[in-house]
Amino acid sequence: MRLGLADVYNPSMLPTLRPGDQLLLCYGVRVRPGDVVVLRHPLQQDLLIVKRVAGRRGEGWWVLGDNPRVTNDSREFGAVPDGMVLARAVLRLRGPGGGQRSLLSLARWLPSAVRPLNSRSRRFRAR
């Protein structure tokens, strides 16, 4: 199993992921509904995107963002072939916003700094 890191740049996965978060990725692992994955955008294959797997549709995966206001997902480009899904995100790493200036602010930030991502990381509901 290979590991890697990815940066989150846009709000399509709010509230689960915010711009500035990093993801710890596992390459070559099985994908199932509810997983957060990194995939190639089907219409712009040099662009990598982060989405949640909703399930199978025909020959591919139906992927959706957690933010219903952003439609850059399977509602726009359809099901994604298996070969375009590159990795599953297993941990979200959140940096300290604005810098920590006191022990109290550090103590408040620490519990949310590292959070596992799996099919139970958000109450999953296929749309």
What is the per-residue DSSP string for 65-121?
-S-TT---SHHHH--EEGGGEEEEEEEEE-PPTT---SHHHHHHHHHHHEEE-STTS
Indicate if the pLDDT at residue 4 is higher than 80: yes
What per-residue confidence (pLDDT) applies to 107?
Answer: 78
Handedness of CA 68, 72, 75, 78 (dihedral sign): negative
What per-residue confidence (pLDDT) applies to 25?
Answer: 97
| pLDDT tens-place string over residues 26-69 | 999 999 999 999 999 999 999 999 999 999 998 899 999 999 99
| Partners of 24 in the β-ladder | 5, 91
Burial zone of 80 (CB within 10 Å; 0-12 exposed, 13-18 middle, 19+ buried):
buried
Indicate if the pLDDT at residue 77 is higher than 70: yes
Residue 32 φ/ψ, nearest 5 degrees: -140, 160
User: At 10, is the secondary structure helix, strand, or coil?
Assistant: coil
Q: What is the mean pLDDT of residues 70-85?
A: 95
What domains lie within the chain, and their CATH numbers?
2-116 (2.10.109.10)
CA 120, CA 122: separation in Å to the nearest integer? 5
What distance lies between CA 16 and its chain's CA centroid?
Answer: 8
Indicate if the pLDDT at residue 125 is higher than 50: no
Comparing 4 with 115, the larger pLDDT belongs to 4
| pLDDT tens-place string over residues 90-124 | 999 987 666 657 888 777 777 778 888 876 555 44
Confidence band for 87, pLDDT divided at 50, 70 and 90: very high
What per-residue confidence (pLDDT) applies to 127?
Answer: 42
CA 86, CA 29: separation in Å to the nearest integer? 9
